[in-house]
Structure 1
């Protein structure tokens, strides 16, 4: 076929494609003699079919071209058409799988034809984003063996994927392969490597790469000038692991490399010093920043405000914020949230509410977390009406209460003996689809136990275990045991204690539970029973504390059981349980009265007092 005939065929296919007559174009192509379908004509029909989403038809034409015996083989233009079009197809219909595109790279490679740098980089990025780094690796490895990879960009895409997957060994191997193939790494290449090493706290490795890049290592001949972003990455990485002094030195090197520090550079350093509690140094850096006419931004403001608040310098933070406002730097949601949190933490709810009002006036809208913080803070401060008012604001803003807030509100209304309101919050919680948890039920069980309404307490415990499938905690049992003891119903307390000790129970009693029971038994002069519980503690590996011993010492003193007291004193010494002022007051008064000062002195010196023990 003559050249003019081939050009005519190309023009015809192109015209038909422009007016959307794809079927007609395909029919016209089919009528051509096989010898008339040269590479240019085939490229044209493949391009038209791919752009129309007719991938299967396009692949049929391409497969013929890729056959070893094909008269008209693919060229660089074919590769450009195929890869650029296939990578743009995102729809489900006609979509080519990534491994099929990778297979095409290999098929083209056999003809010594390779995707251009842009298409190859897009393909590698796409594979890495979908977690297919192994396939991306195989593609580049194959291209390197065929000497078809000359540019660093596709390698950079693979390095990014390997970094996210924490495959640092493969990252180093790829760098070595690039060196062997004489593919010159760029500042982006080193930047990717350093960024991922810093992200995963491998700072020393990142610094070593940085030194190699600058040619500071004798064994390397690479020299790539670092940029500001790279310096900032390293400075941030050093600060995040508490090495801010090294980061400060690096800023000096940055200047000597003609890389001017930016706002981001100072923000990283200020954050590092704030995190370590060195607020003065952070503020000094801020002043240096202003002197260098580097504009602080809201991140700078928030970093310093947060640092000051976390290190109990809230007044200084407020003063600094006011100065920055006068200079035209406004706060944002983060700024106000930091202040509201800080004032709630120190129980200054008036100030917290003031900042909430100022936040709204400044055009910053509180998020759910701000509302949650205020609701919990106000409730725990006993300002239940204010807490309810903030709940209304939260709902007006389109948010819903979370489980923690409901639990705090129920707890605080119970503490104020406002049972009706607590029940309202419980009902609302369930209607909102927020399932009560162990904390919710423990609060209610504890409250009803304290007021002596054991019927309701057990009702909630039954609902907790049988309806909700929640396991009682040591707090659940403790609340009931303590309440029964306070109501002088030691038998019921012991019954619950035995339930805990049951093999089926997964909640073993702790020191607090034992102390409640021992103290109650001692007050009812059941000293032997209390001593048996002390032995039970030893058997179960639960350590008694000073409170445990003090309860028993009081009961033994009342009965004047000296021998048992001496054994108990020896037990305290053995367990290195130090006496407190209550222990010494009980023993000093008692042992002095019965003439056992020597044994008291031995005890205070940490020595055994019983003759049998000696």
Structure 2
């Protein structure tokens, strides 16, 4: 019995020995390599892994390794980046898609996006090929639906919104799969950034028709789109629809509506939304630095720097310190108002608070300095930028070329542009070249050899004149009263097959009107009418030319015709008429024109105020001038201190002299 049992056991062992012997006698080479890589990879023995012959690496082996180490993505990434990349191994679409699934499942989204980017940009796969690869390699153990959202996100990041939409559509129609609302939000956001508001609403309505439930980010996109079209009331309606649907707004929702109101000039509505943020959000949302910046920016655009500073003070009281963006907004506001010292004082305050002025602040100040002719201080600020390692951007380059040119440093501007070309930093929109050409042409007749040399140098660098270039030259020549030269450029433009645009025609009309050739300007306007190119600027230029050349009847007939045509009369037209009436008419005539102006829905502006009050000061009593002033204020004219002082300064001085004389007599 014992021997029998022993014999049976021995037989079983022999059978097992034969089985294993057979297994190792003909091993699968990929299995051996796979197990070897797994052992070395777990121990991160990179030197041993580098010794693997490239011929032993296959895509099937890579897919097995990815699956094996799906919970240790850092190891498989290390193998991919440190071993495969150095062997010039070319992974297949399926192996990379499997790797993308693992990255998404482990929440390594940046790595997944990087691999999708490589497939599309470096390896030449189309978006639909990548989609098929991700679909075919989908595995419930290692995959997540977010992988398709990631493909859409990469397409939108490459500004390829058509491909992103094709992915969404293909998944829905061909594969019966619905991407998440987050993918739709990403796609809609990119459509909106492409300035296609109508396209955004079309795709948004399509998304809603599929039964998607909008979230706060979807609603925010809709609010932003409506604000871009100045449909603020509709945006507020969407906000209340959001609340009604149980979706709580965030601070971005409020910031977009407040910014939209401020950009439309409706500061009262912006402030109302700002004050009621807490009530409208049931206490969940409070203003942040962006909210305050929207309000401050609105007041800065209106020139109301006192209120802007009050809002900034309120911001500090709430515990939010002004950041660089806030200071940049205030600096720009002061510079718009011509308060250079206050703007530079803000820069010093920034530095005291350990805030480094950014490129926006520097650009604003340097531009203002050049505009005021202070090239020395502008150079000092440029040197600060260089010392603090703030790189120049395209706006800095434009400011430099424009600033140097307008202040007479044409050679320096040309040299700087030449340096930009050598570094391949010139703008592709030809703005710098057209700026140089404009100031070269305006530099005068005596510098024709230098102008020709500079123009030849610009053209020799490959610059070809376009319609903007010709328009720039014609406008500059007309402003220099060099009409014959302007006509020569015009004829050259026609010979090259380029059609003049409205701006070019208006420049010629303006030049003719100012050079006692108003009859020729009239002929030009008649030709423009035949081409359908006349606008209110053309007619205002001719109107002003008639008055300048003492052709009053022609001017009045033209003005009547402009009124009859409808839509071709604006505040500039009335300002031209008022300027003539103020010089040759009575105060009652002025009032009659003003009444007609307001009755036709044209609001007076600060120029109207300066014309009326400035001329009335020379002819009328203080009471009559004050009556005009009060009437303008009632009609909603915004006045600045300089306009008021220039209008009433003479009366103030006269009153002071009378008081001084009375005190002497006493």
Same fold flag (TM > 0.5): yes
2:87 maps to which of 82, 86, 94: 94
- Whether the aligned pair in 1 keeps the contact of 2:470 and 2:490 (CA below 8 Å) is no
1:516 maps to which of 511, 516, 532: 511
Residues in 2 aligned to 1:378 and 1:290: alpha-carbon distance in whole angstroms: 45
- Whether the aligned pair in 1 keeps the contact of 2:153 and 2:186 (CA below 8 Å) is no
* Alignment of 1:461 onto 2:456: no
Alpha-carbon distance, 1:462 to partner: 0.5
Give the structure 2 partner of residue 403 of structure 1. Answer: 397
2:117 maps to which of 113, 129, 144: 129
- Whether the aligned pair in 2 keeps the contact of 1:236 and 1:269 (CA below 8 Å) is no
Mean alpha-carbon deviation: is it higher for 513-522 or for 547-556? 547-556
Mean alpha-carbon deviation: is it higher for 574-583 or for 171-180? 574-583
- Whether the aligned pair in 1 keeps the contact of 2:251 and 2:288 (CA below 8 Å) is yes
Alpha-carbon distance, 1:548 to partner: 4.6
- Whether the aligned pair in 1 keeps the contact of 2:401 and 2:436 (CA below 8 Å) is yes
Residues in 1 aligned to 2:339 and 2:165: alpha-carbon distance in whole angstroms: 49
Alpha-carbon distance, 1:465 to partner: 2.7
Residues in 1 aligned to 2:91 and 2:485: alpha-carbon distance in whole angstroms: 67
**Deviation per residue, 1:148-171 (Å, 9 max, x gap):** 897534344345446654333532
Cα pair distance change 1:247/1:365, threshold 3 Å: farther
Give the structure 2 partner of residue 245 of structure 1. Answer: 236
Give the structure 2 partner of residue 351 of structure 1. Answer: 342
Alpha-carbon distance, 1:237 to partner: 0.8
Alpha-carbon distance, 1:478 to partner: 4.6
Give the structure 1 partner of residue 622 of structure 2. Answer: none
- Aligned runs of 1:53-72 on 2, under 5 Å? 53=50, 54=52, 56-59=54-57
* Alignment of 1:442 onto 2:435: no
| Larger Cα-atom Rg | 1
1:90 alignment partner, SS class:
helix
**Deviation per residue, 1:568-589 (Å, 9 max, x gap):** 979996996999759999xx99
1:292 alignment partner, SS class:
coil
**Count of aligned pairs between the two proteins:** 495
Give the structure 1 partner of residue 413 of structure 2. Answer: 426
Gapped regions of structure 1 (runs ≥ 5): 10-31, 67-73, 107-113, 217-229, 415-421, 486-492, 559-564, 590-614
Cα pair distance change 1:357/1:231, threshold 3 Å: farther
- Aligned runs of 1:183-582 on 2, under 5 Å? 189-201=180-192, 202=200, 231-242=215-226, 243-253=234-244, 256=246, 262-264=250-252, 266-268=254-256, 270-271=258-259, 273-275=261-263, 277=266, 278-288=269-279, 292=283, 294=285, 296-310=287-301, 312-384=303-375, 386-399=377-390, 402-414=396-408, 422=409, 425-426=412-413, 429=416, 433=420, 437-446=433-442, 448-449=443-444, 454-456=445-447, 458-469=448-459, 471=465, 473-480=470-477, 483=480, 493-494=483-484, 497-498=487-488, 500-502=490-492, 503-504=494-495, 510-517=505-512, 520=515, 545=539, 548=542, 581=577
Mean alpha-carbon deviation: is it higher for 570-579 or for 509-518? 570-579
Residues in 1 aligned to 2:551 and 2:76: alpha-carbon distance in whole angstroms: 91
**Deviation per residue, 1:262-312 (Å, 9 max, x gap):** 555554554455455431233124454898375544333334333443455
Gapped regions of structure 2 (runs ≥ 5): 1-12, 193-199, 227-233, 427-431, 586-666
- Whether the aligned pair in 2 keeps the contact of 1:343 and 1:351 (CA below 8 Å) is yes
CA RMSD of aligned residues (A): 5.5
**Deviation per residue, 1:189-244 (Å, 9 max, x gap):** 33233343344244675577579778x8xxxxxxxxxxxxx733123212211253
Instruction: Kindly indicate which of the two structures has a greater share of residues assigned to helix.
Output: 2
Residues in 2 aligned to 1:104 and 1:510: alpha-carbon distance in whole angstroms: 59
**Deviation per residue, 1:316-336 (Å, 9 max, x gap):** 332121122233311222111
- Whether the aligned pair in 1 keeps the contact of 2:278 and 2:285 (CA below 8 Å) is no
Mean alpha-carbon deviation: is it higher for 392-401 or for 372-381? 392-401
Give the structure 1 partner of residue 132 of structure 2. Answer: 138
* Alignment of 1:171 onto 2:168: yes
